[in-house]
């Protein structure tokens, strides 16, 4: 386990990789180590630790997400996109709570956001309207992010959202771990 300072006041949480976890929180390292037994690789993402960390920091633990990454691709996106300068769409508002420099594009039946998240990494989120699902639009939007982000792009995907997991994997993203972010309670 590695404990590091929060990369920003907004970003606090745990990222877990194979046999390694990173806790990024501005709390006493001894407090963290007292609650996590050496060798218990699942404990940093376990409910008991996350609940205590949330209580200590006055935050709420978010969902456990699959963390996937992909390298950028050259050339234009694989589908026509229209960039939006202003949007009150719920997916966009959520992206702005977790990311800086958010840009938004639409395609018929879908929405794509790319912005800077934890530690300044480029992060993507997509949404496909119900009547457009099952036709590859999610995969195309996830692939488009690889053409739009200037560096490696990361996605946090709820593991229970099997369609989204399949779309990101099909678009060339590879699983690297799991993540839980703790956010100020709204």
Three-state SS letters, 87-140: CCCHHHHHHHHHCEEEEEEEECCEEEEEEECHHHCEEEEEEECHHHCCCCHHHH
pLDDT of residue 38: 86
> Would residue 26 count as lying in a domain?
yes
Query: Would the pLDDT of 86 be above 90?
Result: no
pTM passes above 0.75: yes
> Would residue 185 count as lying in a domain?
no
> Would residue 155 count as lying in a domain?
yes
Q: Are residues 61 and 91 in the same domain?
A: no
Q: Are residues 168 and 88 in the same domain?
A: yes
Closest by CA to 107, choosing from 86, 78, 85, is 78
> Would residue 59 count as lying in a domain?
yes
CB-count exposure of residue 85 (10 Å: 0-12, 13-18, 19+): exposed
Contact 36, 49 (CB under 8 A): yes
Q: Are residues 91 and 134 in the same domain?
A: yes
Provide mean pLDDT across the span 25-54.
Answer: 95
pLDDT of residue 91: 87
pLDDT band, very low/low/confident/very high, at 90 (cuts 50, 70, 90): confident
Q: What is the mean pLDDT of the chain?
A: 95
pLDDT of residue 153: 98
Q: Are residues 52 and 94 in the same domain?
A: no
Domain extent, residue 80, equals 67-174
């Amino acid at each position: 386990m590695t404990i590091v300072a929060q990369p920003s006041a907004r970003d606090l949480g745990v990222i877990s990789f194979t046999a390694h976890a990173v806790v990024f929180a501005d709390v006493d390292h001894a407090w963290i180590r007292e609650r996590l037994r050496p060798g218990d690789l699942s404990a940093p993402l376990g409910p008991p630790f996350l609940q205590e960390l949330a209580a200590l920091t006055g935050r709420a633990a978010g969902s456990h997400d699959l963390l996937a990454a992909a390298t950028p691709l050259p050339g234009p996106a694989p589908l026509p996109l229209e960039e939006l300068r202003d949007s009150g769409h719920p997916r966009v508002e959520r992206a702005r709570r977790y990311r800086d420099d958010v840009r938004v594009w639409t395609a018929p039946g879908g929405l794509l956001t790319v912005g800077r998240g934890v530690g300044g990494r480029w992060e993507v989120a997509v949404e496909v309207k119900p009547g457009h699902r099952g036709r590859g639009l999610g995969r195309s939007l996830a692939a488009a992010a690889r053409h739009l982000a200037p560096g490696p792009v990361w996605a946090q995907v709820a593991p229970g959202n099997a369609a989204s997991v399949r779309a990101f994997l099909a678009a060339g993203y590879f699983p690297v771990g799991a993540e839980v972010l703790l956010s100020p309670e709204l």
